[in-house]
Structure 1
Amino acid sequence: MCSNRTTGETCPECNKRSLHLELYRMVTEQQNIGLMIGSKSGYRPLNSIMDVYIELYGQDLFLPGDATNWQVSFQPKTEHGRHFDLSLVNLPEGDKLIIVADITSTVLKIESINTQLEEASHNATHDQLTGLANRAYLLEYAMQTLREAERYLGRVAIFVLDIDNFKTINDTFGHDTGDIAIRWIAERLRQLCRDSDFIARQGGDEFCVIQKNIKALDDVTSLAEKLVHGLSDTISTRYGDIAISSSIGISVFPSDGPDINTLLVHTDKALYESKKNGRNCFQMYSKELNRQAVRKAAMVTNLYSAFDKNEFLLRYQPIHDVNGGGVVGLEAFVRWSPSVTPWSQHLLNGKSSSEISCDIFLHTVERMGRGLALLKQVVTIACRDLARWRKIPGHGNLTTSLNCSLRQLMDGEFQSTLDYCLLTNGLPHNAILIEVMPEEFDSENLKIRHSLDYLRSSQIPLVLDGFGCLRSSPLLLRQWKPDIVKMDMNSLDSEYGSAISSELIMDMVTMLRHLSGVPIHAGRVETGNQLSALCQGGCQIAQGFFLSKPMNAEQVTLFLKQHKTHAGFMI
């Protein structure tokens, strides 16, 4: 067989010119299939879409150099393939050459020209291995996105990530395994990113994600944390399971650069730093943003460990009847006692207590998707403790308040957990009070209505928390009819200044009593003047450092043995 059959060059052995044949398909107005064969260097028929290289069976096709035109007729398919009759114009009359070509039915199927053009366009802008956008498309998309962001004063984050130790994977297990890892990362990115995020493979093991419409730093760090944890896993190969992780560099437009090329340079620097920091992490280019992001990332890492090590604790603060002086109940607070690390030491900043307030870490736990898991732990421990304290003489009516978000309250799993814990500990449903912030209410949300119906039908008291700040609307009192309204004295100080007058406190209590018709509970009472004004305004229950500090379970037991539950105040 001639070695130059597909090159279009003259073969020195046979001194004949061999041609590389191509099959062109044309769709006429009558939708008939017309086939033309021409050399690679020859003319291309108008509207030709796809070249199919014909594999000749058993022989080479040698055409004389002056045979520049051919006529082809299409013959039915046989078991050997499809036959084409070629009539070469300059050959002696009557001479024909029959070629058997292996052409699949897919090739010869009539398709719209637009479909094929779209496929060709997609192939030009997308990576063949993963189906993601390629670098050319990435740059085009990025330039357009940055122009829009500049016009509307928006921010855009550029994430560049690669597979940790990818060269070792390739060298040890081969390029096939490397391709498996690349496809796995691509698919996981599709699952982790939003529909509005743009994902591309730049080449090799390097990927890029463009995040638009950034409102706050949390949007960037939240996605970064999600990617770091979501891309850390094992993949199955014929050599067994192989650990996979990724390092990420991030830059933000416009603070880190005015154009995509500058941003990519800065992102690469951040990626390099993330690898220096031990891999399987992310690094932001901006120094200040990076310091904040690193602190939040360290908190996330330590919080994951906290669940495994049971580092969460409950602390209880007594709630007093301000008129009779007795104890009405307790509010449970979750605290975090982290292991001793440089990060925890920095966060505690030399404080005598080794516990971290829930105000610092609870929002992060929610973003991690572990808020419900933590609340279930709190419910389990709080019900167990309350059942034990109710057995202390004089405290059979003691209650415990739990803080809960509406999202958690709407979760059927939480409701089942609460019902189970109350039942197994022999507690009535009104022994546990649920505190919810008013800003989270939406009267049009049917799930919220069903959740509140659950509380009412179960006779679990609802405490509407946080009143006194400007964002709390009196309309919510009439909409949801809580069992108790809680004023946050700390919020009052923030809204009106630390020198808030006693008259304003009394007026606020009087107004809330009139609008709600339920007991008023003051939280975070810090001074005697505040307590006096609350009493004069008609506030019935209060808690705060001025009355009692938060305690652990053992301290609560001793405290209750010295105080009596006030029998005159019941929900």
Structure 2
Amino acid sequence: MNILIVDDDVVDREHLVRTLNKANSYCHIVETESVDEGLAAFKAEKFDVVLLDYRMPKRDGIELLLELRSALVNQSVAIIMLSNSEESDLALECIKNGAQDFLLKSEVTSSRLQRAILQSQTRFELEKKLYKSYQEARELAEHDSLTGLANRYAFEEALRLNITQQPRDDAKLALILFDLDKFKFINDSHGHDIGDLLLKQVSNRVYKCLRENELFARVGGDEFAIILSHLKSVDNATRVTQRILNCFDEAFNILGIEIKMGASIGIAIFPDNSISATELLKYADIAMYRAKKLGRNQICYFEKKMQEQFLQQYQIEANLVGALERDEFILHYQPIVDTVTLQVIGFEALIRWNFQNTLHFPDSFIPIAESSRAIIDIGRWVIAQAIYQISTWNLQSDKALSIAINLSSVQLADRTLISFIKSLIEKYQVPPALIEFELTETALLDNSSQAIAVIESISQLGCHIALDDFGTGFSSVSHLQNFPINTVKIDKSLMLASHEPKTRALVDGLTAMLHSLGLNIVAEGIEDENNLRLCQQLNIQRIQGYFFSKPLSTACIEKKYL
């Protein structure tokens, strides 16, 4: 048996050693005279029993007791406190802080010490079993036995705690409730065993849609809850719930039975909807009920404004699916004019969506197409249509008109984009220098090797790269140095405000810098003759805007300019 003695009194230590040797000749004893020495010895080797003096200089025995107990969760070590004090409160304090026994030094005899050691060891083993039972009971009390997820009790406690600890800034918390559509039918048709297996598969599939720090609970038969905390935007909740909804697209296979399942999802936001955990839960439940009323397999926000916004976005995304096949997209073209001759020298291709007899502009659907990655196919259609059209016009007019094509940052992740562009150039025999791809500066903020490689490869094909909307947002001179940019387009917001002294000074400075770098300049938003004269004074090479023409259909362009 290994025994550690921690006592600053050398006489008391010697007495304990003699008593221990008398009682048990097979024990290994280590003596220390302070708390720090005791801790060092304990870290160096394993002990079965610690005999610990209560009163010592600098740090008393209770401090060591607390430190040892915090480190002894998985170790079988009995601790016996020793003292010359006969105060009953002292003995109780030692027991409450984790000691297994308390002995007066004056009463230490060979038999009493041996009995105390045996009893302390036995008591410690019982305490360990009791703690293990407590942990098992807590596991049962806080976790769902079928899925292993947190149960309703643990979820409600976590929700209250999260709301209490939510930082006082702009961060939000989203409470998501969802249940399985027509789950009762599954139970009635296939039996509860199949239903239970389905619940387990649903839990596993949804869990993969979440990060590890998001609480996921089963709060009822087929009802689940998720807490998303520290959200900077409600859009984060939308993305997570959309992933969850998407994970139901694939049928579940339960013992060879194919089961198609959907979910109705309700969302409530803290603090927008409520700062009360109870009310938040109620509102999420109401939102989930609304999702069912909307036709099931839906996502519904409690707040009407959020719900309208989500429905609009969801409908656009849903309607974009198949829009290419239905031939709903068209291109309009805005003339680009030479500033000196005022002749049309090219066009910018601008997409429009003709849906349900209404012409939708890019701002209303391109961001959604980007988030759903539908922009990959839509963008390819734009490139193909624009290159084909400029090829046709140049053949008809015997001119060398250029075409500007907007490129989304998402398209830069398309690994076959370069070969696609190259094939179109060869197919329609368009000189690459007549094709200009426009990128916004947000696209250049993506420093991924793939994005950089695509931009450089477009330039190597002989096509030009234009930096769009320059002078707003993320404008950075470093982009002009780090990327193969040929043209910079000054944002129309600057031209429209160019009559203001500060804006005029900014435009003057930008154009002077761009000229010094040898870059071509295009001014957007030319609305009147004053804008035109300014561009001529600043030697801006190309201009476009409503002063010359709004974007027009193919037929109108051919009638007016060719």
User: By how many angstroms is 1:476 displaced?
Assistant: 2.7
Q: For residue 276 of structure 1, what is the aligned residue in structure 2? A: 293
- For the 8 Å contact 1:509–1:538, the answer to whether it is kept is no
1:363 to 367, 381, 384: 367
- For the 8 Å contact 1:225–1:297, the answer to whether it is kept is no
TM-score (norm 2): 0.70
- The alignment partner of 1:550 has SS state of coil
Q: For residue 337 of structure 2, what is the aligned residue in structure 1? A: 320
User: By how many angstroms is 1:462 displaced?
Assistant: 0.7
- For the 8 Å contact 2:291–2:299, the answer to whether it is kept is yes
Comparing 459-468 with 183-192, greater Cα deviation is found at 183-192
Amino acid at match of 1:356: H
**Structure 2 residue 503 is the aligned partner of structure 1 residue 486:** no
Cα distance in 2 for partners of 1:375, 1:246 equals 32
1:409 to 412, 424, 447: 412
1:187 to 204, 210, 219: 204
Cα distance in 1 for partners of 2:558, 2:197 equals 59
Q: For residue 531 of structure 1, what is the aligned residue in structure 2? A: 532
2:162 to 145, 149, 159: 145
User: By how many angstroms is 1:225 displaced?
Assistant: 3.2
Change (3 A) 1:311 1:123: farther
Amino acid at match of 1:527: D
- For the 8 Å contact 1:468–1:489, the answer to whether it is kept is no
- For the 8 Å contact 1:157–1:253, the answer to whether it is kept is yes
Cα-to-partner distance string for 1:184-203 (whole Å, 9 max, x where unaligned): 32233123333443322212
Aligned 1:487-566 pairs, distance under 5 A: 487-493=490-496, 496=497, 503-504=504-505, 507-508=508-509, 510-561=511-562
Aligned 1:291-330 pairs, distance under 5 A: 291-304=308-321, 306-307=323-324, 309-330=326-347
Cα-to-partner distance string for 1:139-158 (whole Å, 9 max, x where unaligned): 23222322221445521000
- For the 8 Å contact 2:337–2:343, the answer to whether it is kept is yes
Cα-to-partner distance string for 1:505-527 (whole Å, 9 max, x where unaligned): 76145324334321110123222
**Structure 2 residue 305 is the aligned partner of structure 1 residue 288:** yes
Change (3 A) 1:506 1:149: closer
Flag structure 1 segments of 5+ consecutive residues without an equivalent: 1-28, 31-46, 49-111, 341-353, 562-571
- The alignment partner of 1:208 has SS state of strand
Change (3 A) 1:524 1:223: farther
**Structure 2 residue 380 is the aligned partner of structure 1 residue 381:** no
Cα distance in 1 for partners of 2:499, 2:513 equals 21
User: By how many angstroms is 1:179 displaced?
Assistant: 2.6
Cα distance in 1 for partners of 2:469, 2:547 equals 19
- The alignment partner of 1:355 has SS state of strand
Cα distance in 1 for partners of 2:455, 2:173 equals 40
Cα RMSD of the aligned pairs, angstroms, is 3.2
- The alignment partner of 2:522 has SS state of strand
Comparing 398-407 with 232-241, greater Cα deviation is found at 232-241
Aligned 1:340-489 pairs, distance under 5 A: 354-395=358-399, 397-442=400-445, 445-469=448-472, 471-489=474-492
Change (3 A) 1:422 1:243: same
Amino acid at match of 1:523: E
- The alignment partner of 2:230 has SS state of coil
User: By how many angstroms is 1:541 displaced?
Assistant: 0.7
TM-score (norm 1): 0.69
Cα distance in 1 for partners of 2:169, 2:511 equals 47
- For the 8 Å contact 1:372–1:414, the answer to whether it is kept is no
Change (3 A) 1:198 1:390: farther
- For the 8 Å contact 1:329–1:399, the answer to whether it is kept is yes
Amino acid at match of 1:273: R
Change (3 A) 1:402 1:118: farther
Cα distance in 1 for partners of 2:271, 2:326 equals 41
- For the 8 Å contact 2:508–2:538, the answer to whether it is kept is yes
Cα distance in 2 for partners of 1:253, 1:502 equals 41
Cα distance in 1 for partners of 2:396, 2:183 equals 63
Cα-to-partner distance string for 1:258-284 (whole Å, 9 max, x where unaligned): 232221111111111111121111221
Identity across aligned pairs (percent)? 27
User: By how many angstroms is 1:305 displaced?
Assistant: 5.0
- For the 8 Å contact 1:198–1:211, the answer to whether it is kept is yes
2:252 to 235, 248, 257: 235
Cα distance in 1 for partners of 2:552, 2:522 equals 20
Change (3 A) 1:373 1:443: closer
Which of the pair is proportionally richer in helix?
Answer: 2
Cα-to-partner distance string for 1:315-362 (whole Å, 9 max, x where unaligned): 22121112122222221112111136xxxxxxxxxxxxx211101211
Change (3 A) 1:119 1:415: farther
Amino acid at match of 1:183: K
Cα distance in 1 for partners of 2:229, 2:147 equals 23
